[in-house]
Structures are given as structure tokens and as C-alpha cells.
Amino acid sequence: MTGMKGMINNMNNKESILTSVKSRLPRFQDSNQKKALANISFFFALMLVLTLVARGTAAANMPVVTVKRPAMGEIVQRIKQCGTVKGATGEAQQAVSGITVDELLVSNGQAVKSGDAVVRLNLKEITQELDKEQVALQKLQLRVSQLTKQEETDRNALKQAQQALAWAREDFDTVVHKSDDVLDETKEAYLSARDTLEKAKNALAALEKNPDASADDLKAAREQVAAAQTAYNAARDAFYNADSAADAQLTEADRSVIRAENTLEQAIDNVRKAEEQAKEQADTNSLEAKGLTLDVAEKKSRIEGLKLLKNSKGIMTAPKDGTVRDLSLTKGQKTTETPAYYIADDTVGYLLELVLTEKQAKLVKTGTKAVVTRDRAKLEAIVQALAPKGEDGTMTATLSLPKEDWRDGEQVQAEMEISRKRYDLCLPISAVHSGSDGDYVLVIDKQNTILGLQNVLRKMPVTVEESDDSSIAVAGALFTENDVVITGSRPVESGDRVRIDS
């Protein structure tokens, strides 16, 4: 709007400008000279008006920016957060789950003495649950015993195969010895029969050559050869038959040994596989037994709690003097795994819980001091503990509060100053931009153009040293005389011509 007003003012003043120009020109008497002078004056006046209009139009279209010069300043890291006041939780009192609450004997926030009755649970349900859990415990213990029992691998088949092989080898040795004896005996008879036949043949030949031999002697010699031949044939056949029989017996005995060896190898392989399977099963059983052992421990703990409740007629009492806090039980409802209530030590003060973002949590540590605002009063609190709250990185900071009349659930504001540091070049945080080549600011350069002196933006790289919620400290080729763009009427970039908002 400022640019448009300037343009209109320039247009309104054109007559005064023309008058001023004319007053400075020499006066001519000739009409032609006067006419030429008028044309020239009109031309220059028109050019001046167009230039002013162009400047006004250009100025009207330029983005308007706000600038600030870098200056020395402080970057303060602080956290402001609203939190909830809670009484010190104290010692948790866990009720056995699954039992109906018959009566609440105290209220939340009530002071109690050690041994005071706090809640009464259903005694009948306690007795029934105790009996059921004891049976379940026995079953669990029996199962654990079965799982941990070592099963022996059946080696009877292996022993039988080893015995069969030993017998087969013994039979083979027996066959070898007997075959050797029979072969020796038949061979000896065979050789003897052969010698007798040879002698009988030699005696017959000698008689046949002797002219003096009688017919009776020749007949007798021939009968002896025939008898010797018969005996030889019988001995030879007996020897050959014995040899064949021995080969057959040895072959069969050897086959028996091979079969026994194969049987033994199979038995050994079966035992190996059985042992591997037994080991795998034992490992599985061991894992299951470990899980069941935990269940056994839980059952025992639950049974112990039920026994205590049964002995106390279902009454839960305060273990010490203090105040009942976070009473989660409801009459007529079942108890759960959540603590039934807490007994807080009255000597311990109140706590303030703050939920911090992941970024905030990285700045806070145990012992960090905070200022708590309450009814315009400033009170000091100290961070006692930090605990994860969610998967998004949030943390719960627990602060100890000074002794005051705090109320459970009260909401108060806490501020923690983490650090404070001075820097030479500080700017509003909106002045720094980020690009693919890093962080930068836009500074104003004065340039002479056809339209006059104009403000042109130039990109200047900087290094961000630190920032807080409003300010940012930078380093680079930046001076305190540089005008840096911090805001604009529309997005701007390096090379843009701009007007500075006055």
C-alpha cells in the first residue's frame, strides 16, 4: 500500500514537475522554435512520468521484508512443562488376584497404623482358590519331574547284535578247524591210496617183464592193481568231496559273519539316532521344565499369599504407619495384578511428575533443579529420577517438592534452566534457513539499477552454534552491520528485490 500511495503522489505532482521544467528553459520568439521546444519538453516530461510510474509499479510488486542486524545475545536452554503433584507412593501392597473384595475398611489418603485392617476379601473364595492352586501345584511338580527324568536309550538290540556277531565268528573258526581236519584226513587217505596204486602198477609191470612169472602171480598182481585203483578212486572222491564241502561251509560261515556285522552296524546306527533324538527331546524337555519351574515358583508364592489371607480371615493389614495411597480396589469387584494400595511414609514429601519429550529428556539429568510456580510463589524442586514412558522416546521426570500443603493431582508449572551462554552473533530463529548445501541467511545488498537504488537479497552461509525457543546463534562471514531478513510478506530467495518494512 505504501508503494501505491507513492505512485499516486508522483502522478499528482506531474504538473508541478512540468511547470518547473518549463520555467528553466529559455524563451523563444519564433513559433516553430516554440513548437519544437514544446515537443521536447513534452517528451522529457513523459519519460520522467513513465520512470516514476515504473518505479512505483515495481515497488508495489516487491515483497516486503522485516530485517534485523546480528547482535550479541544469550541462548538459554530451558524447559517449561506442566506436571502433576503426587504423594510419595510408598510400599506397594499386592493382593492375591481373582478374589472378590467384600469390604474396604479405609479410604484413599487415610492415615493408618501398623496392623490396621485395610480391606477384607471373600474368605470362601480364598479357601476354594487355595485348594485349587495346591492341586495345580502338584500337577506342575509331577510334570517337571517327568521332564527332568533321564530316559535310558534301549541298547538291547545292540547287545544282541554284538552277541550274534561273536557267535558267527566263533562258528566260522569252528568250521575252519573242522574243515582243515577233514581235509587233512581225506588228503592223507587219498595220497596213501595213490601210493598203493602206484606200487601195485609197478609190481604188475615188473611181473609182466619177467618171463619166469607164473600166470597165477600175474593174475594176483592184476587183482591187486584193480583193488588199489578202486581204493584210490574212493579216496580221491572223498578228498574232493571234503574239499567242496569245506568251501561251502566256509562260505556260509563267512556270510553269517558278514550278516552279523551288518546287523551290528545297523544296531549301532539305531542307537546313535536314538541318542540324538533323546538329546533333542531332553533339550526340549529342559526348556519346558524351566518354564514350568517358574510357574511352580509363582504357584508357591500365590499359595503362600492365600494361606496368609486364610489365616487372617481374609483381612489385609497395613505393614507400617503411613498413609493409604492409590487404593485401586472396589467393593464387589475382583482383585487384579495391579497393587491394591500403597502405604506411604508420612515423613516423605510430595513428588511432581513431568512428561518430557525425547529432545527435552536428553537435556535433563538426575539432580537438575527446577523452579515450580504455585500461587505466584517460586519454589525449588529437584529431579530425583527419569523413567521411560512410551516407545516414542518420552520420559517421566520425578521431582521432589519442598514441604508445602500440596494436594494429590494438583497441576503446577515447572521451569528448568539447563544452560545459558553468550554469543557474538544472535538473530531471531526465523532468520536462518536450511538448504541442500547447509544453513544460510538472506542479507540486504544495495544495488543501483535502471529503476534506481534497490534492495537485493544475497544468500550467506552460516554455521548454527546453538538455538533456543526464540533465538539462534550463528557464525560465519556475517557482520553486525548486515541487515538480515527475518520475515517477509511472501517467501523470498537470493536475488529477489525487496522493500524493507519501515
159 and 302 inside one domain: yes
In a domain, 181, yes or no: yes
In a domain, 146, yes or no: no
Domain boundary among 307, 342, 372: 307
71 and 164 inside one domain: no
Q: Looking at residue 462, which CATH number applies to its domain?
A: 2.40.420.20
Q: Could you tell me which of 308, 249, 253 has the C-alpha nearest to residue 129?
A: 308
Domain boundary among 290, 307, 324: 307
Give every CB contact of residue 407 below 8 A, 6+ residues apart in sequence.
85
What's the Rg (C-alpha) of the chain? 59
- The residue range of the domain holding 449 is 64-75+423-500
Q: Could you tell me which of 114, 130, 112 has the C-alpha nearest to residue 122?
A: 130
In a domain, 141, yes or no: no
69 and 184 inside one domain: no
- Position 166 scores a pLDDT of 86
- Position 21 scores a pLDDT of 47
Rounded Cα–Cα distance for residues 77 and 465 (Å):
13
In a domain, 366, yes or no: no
71 and 193 inside one domain: no
Residue 263 near residue 97 (C-beta atoms within 8 A) = no
- Position 346 scores a pLDDT of 65
In a domain, 142, yes or no: no
In a domain, 196, yes or no: yes
In DSSP notation, 170-231 reads: HHHHHHHHHHHHHHHHHHHHHHHHHHHHHHHHHHHHHHHH-TT--HHHHHHHHHHHHHHHHH
294 and 163 inside one domain: yes
**Count of CA atoms in the C-beta half-sphere (13 A) of 100:** 8
In a domain, 462, yes or no: yes
282 and 188 inside one domain: yes
- Position 123 scores a pLDDT of 93
Rounded Cα–Cα distance for residues 324 and 118 (Å):
9
- Position 444 scores a pLDDT of 95
Whether pTM exceeds 0.85: no
- Position 274 scores a pLDDT of 82
161 and 289 inside one domain: yes
**How many domains would you assign to the chain?**
2
Rounded Cα–Cα distance for residues 78 and 288 (Å):
53
Hey, what amino acid is at 365? K
Read off the C-alpha cell for 252: 556260509
179 and 302 inside one domain: yes
Rounded Cα–Cα distance for residues 46 and 241 (Å):
150
**Along the 502 residues of the chain, how does pLDDT read in single tens digits?**
444 444 444 444 545 554 554 555 555 455 666 666 666 766 666 665 555 555 555 556 789 999 999 999 999 988 888 988 876 667 788 899 999 999 999 998 788 999 999 999 999 999 999 999 999 999 998 988 888 887 676 788 888 888 888 888 888 888 888 888 888 888 898 899 899 989 989 988 888 888 888 888 888 888 998 998 998 999 899 889 988 888 888 888 888 889 988 988 988 888 888 888 888 888 888 888 888 889 999 989 999 999 999 999 999 999 888 888 888 899 999 999 888 888 877 666 678 888 888 888 888 888 888 888 888 888 888 888 888 876 777 888 888 888 777 777 789 999 988 889 999 999 999 999 999 999 999 999 998 876 678 999 999 999 999 999 899 999 999 999 999 999 999 999 999 999 998 7
69 and 160 inside one domain: no
Domain boundary among 282, 307, 332: 307
In a domain, 258, yes or no: yes
Give, in degrees to the nearest 5, the angle at Cα 243 between 239 and 249.
140
- Position 1 scores a pLDDT of 43
- Position 44 scores a pLDDT of 65
300 and 434 inside one domain: no
190 and 296 inside one domain: yes
| Residue 485: Cβ-neighbour burial (10 angstroms; 0-12, 13-18, 19+) | buried
70 and 208 inside one domain: no
Q: SS3 for 328? A: coil
Q: Looking at residue 184, which CATH number applies to its domain?
A: 1.10.287.620
- Position 53 scores a pLDDT of 52
Q: Could you tell me which of 340, 347, 346 has the C-alpha nearest to residue 326?
A: 340
- Position 22 scores a pLDDT of 54
